[in-house]
Amino acid sequence: MKAYMRRRLKPDEILEKIGQLEAGGQREEAQRLAAAYMAYEEEGEVPFYVEEEVPLEVARRMLSKQVRELISYIKRYEGKSISELAKELGRSPSNVHVDVGFLSRYNVVYTERQGRRVVPHLLAEELRVEL
């Protein structure tokens, strides 16, 4: 069995990739990614996706009830901090922080610091398991 995740690129990944493409002489692809980055800056959306294999243990944890519920709340309540999500979920902020850290490590979300607030943003669009 294998698991795959389709996700948006993080803003810093786009900048890194643009540099790699320019250094490799692939200007058209670099320009396309630069346009994607500008869309992020203007609209907050990154229209560039990658598909990556995910370790089965990671996919299994992503499919646990608590993590599924957290992902759903992050999607539904875009812009809420970890503390606000914890309150909505009826969980402790430290437990939600641990789960967000796990999701961040595997690029399911990325976190943005807004003063003292830490806000997770969903990157993952799809998780697929193949036999």
Taking the model in full, what pTM does it have?
A: 0.81
Q: Tell me the pLDDT of the chain (131 aa) as tens digits.
A: 999 999 988 878 878 888 888 999 998 888 887 877 777 666 666 567 889 999 999 999 999 999 999 999 999 999 999 999 999 999 999 999 999 999 999 999 999 999 999 999 999 999 999 99
CB crowding 54-72: b at 16 or more within 10 Å, else e: beeebbeebeeeebeebbe
Token pair of 45 as six digits: 């959306």
